[in-house]
Structure 1
Amino acid sequence: MSATFRELSDRIGQVGELYARVHEIERNADWYLLKLTEELGELTAEHLLIAGRAKPNADGSGGSREALENEAADLFGQFVLYLRANEINIEAAIERKWLRHLDKYVSLDVDKVAGDG
């Protein structure tokens, strides 16, 4: 069974809190954004390794689908922590910024397809 976004966010938040406490990491507004940048860099590195556009790691690690997925999970987790720390309701923001266009684009696509036929 899949978790809702809120349930997933709560679980990621719990892991983030425990991780920071265990490793004595002081998090502030800058930390969350900088961690996003770090994780995006790591995802980019894995992407480049898989694509054959970067040299392999000295220890031979990385460059696998699993490593790419793990880095994507790290980026997503850190993004969720950023949202939580900045009290951003991403569901409302996505509705406002992206999904409000859905009906318009579906209509345009239908019109385009109808015009092609």
Structure 2
Amino acid sequence: MDLASLSDRLERISAGYAVREGFTRDDDWFVLKLVEELGELTQVQLARTGRGKDRGRDAEEVERRLTEEVADVLGHVLLLARRHGVDVEAAMDAKWLQWERLYPPGPDAPALP
């Protein structure tokens, strides 16, 4: 799955959801929704580390929620980027991947293909 096709699929889902639920996705909505999802991810992480409420969830449920919230945050980052015409792959190349030459991988870094 590449980021562009994933972004297209997420956009169709998000736009359809907005129509069905009767709200407008303006520029502010995209960033506010991302903040909401990041807050939910933060709650789950704090529950994982014993610094927040687990809300009666066992460890397996907390881990499942972590996975779901990571997906929500990534999805809303991609939707926000799409909204503003950001090429995420090019932005990552320019912002992050330029540092590969300067910083050698750490001991736990995955091997590259």
Question: What corresponds to 1:35 in structure 2?
Answer: 33
- With 79-88 and 95-104 compared, the bigger mean Cα shift is at 95-104
Q: 1:103 pairs with 92, 97, 101, which one?
A: 101
Q: 2:85 pairs with 84, 87, 109, which one?
A: 87
Aligned residue-pair number: 103
* TM-score, normalised by the number of residues in structure 2: 0.82
Indicate whether 1:72 and 2:92 are aligned. Answer: no
Indicate whether 1:18 and 2:16 are aligned. Answer: yes
Aligned-pair identity (%): 37
Larger fraction in helix? 1
For the structure 1 residues 61 and 25, does the alpha-carbon distance in structure 2 shift closer, same or farther, using more than 3 Å as the test?
farther
Deviations 1:4-44 (A, max 9, x none): 11111111111111111111121111111111111100000
Deviations 1:57-105 (A, max 9, x none): 2xx3586111111111111111111011111111111111111221232
After TM superposition, the runs of 4+ consecutive aligned structure 1 residues lying more than 3 A away are: none
SS in 1 for 2:103: helix
- Mapped to 1, the partners of 2:49 and 2:40 lie a distance apart of 14
Give yes or no for contact 2:41–2:66 (8 Å, CA) kept in 1: yes
The unaligned stretches of length 5 or more in structure 1 are 110-117
Letter of the structure 1 residue corresponding to residue 63 of structure 2? R
